[in-house]
Amino acid sequence: MMIHWYPGHMNKARKEIQAAMPHIDLVIEVMDARIPFSSENPLIAELRGTRPVIKVLNKSDLADPKITKAWLGYLMKEQNVKAQAMMANEIRSIRKLLSLCRSAFPERNLKTKPIRVMILGVPNAGKSTLINTLLGRIVAKVRDEPAVTQHQQQVNLGNGIFLNDTPGILWPKFENKRSGLHLAMTGAIKSTAMDPEDVAVFAAEFLLNTYPEMLMVRYKFKTLPEDATALLEEVGRKRGCLRTGGIIDIQQASTILLTDLRTGALGRISLETPEMMNV
Separation of alpha carbons 234 and 43, rounded Å? 41
Separation of alpha carbons 199 and 171, rounded Å? 20
What is the structure's pLDDT at 148? Answer: 45
Alpha-carbon distances, residue 185 vs 228, 231, 266 (angstroms): 15, 16, 13
**Which residue type sits at 68?**
T
- Which string of DSSP letters, residue by residue, matches 42-70? HHHHHHHTTS-EEEEEE-GGGS-HHHHHH
What is the structure's pLDDT at 150? Answer: 45
**Which residue type sits at 59?**
K
Q: What is the pTM of this model?
A: 0.85
Residue 260 burial class via C-beta count within 10 angstroms: exposed 0-12, middle 13-18, buried 19 and up: buried
What is the structure's pLDDT at 2? Answer: 45
Give me the sheet containing 26-32, strands edge to edge.
Answer: 81-85, 53-58, 26-32, 115-121, 161-165, 153-158
What is the structure's pLDDT at 141? Answer: 52
Q: What is the pLDDT along the chain (279 residues), one digit of tens a residue?
A: 445 455 555 667 677 788 888 889 999 999 999 999 988 887 888 888 889 999 999 999 999 999 999 999 999 998 899 999 998 878 888 889 999 999 999 989 998 999 999 888 877 788 878 877 887 754 555 555 554 444 456 778 888 898 876 655 655 555 678 888 999 999 887 766 678 899 999 999 999 999 999 999 999 999 999 999 999 999 999 999 988 888 999 999 999 999 999 999 999 999 999 998 766
What is the structure's pLDDT at 194? Answer: 78
Q: Which residues pair with 154 in a beta bridge?
A: 164
Separation of alpha carbons 71 and 59, rounded Å? 14
What is the structure's pLDDT at 48? Answer: 87
* Cβ–Cβ < 8 Å for 82, 131: no
**CA triple 132-136-137, angle to 5 deg:** 65
3 state SS of 158: strand
* Cβ–Cβ < 8 Å for 221, 268: no
Nearest to 120 by CA among 51, 191, 193: 51
For the chain, domains (ranges, CATH) are 3-173 (3.40.50.300), 195-276 (1.10.1580.10)
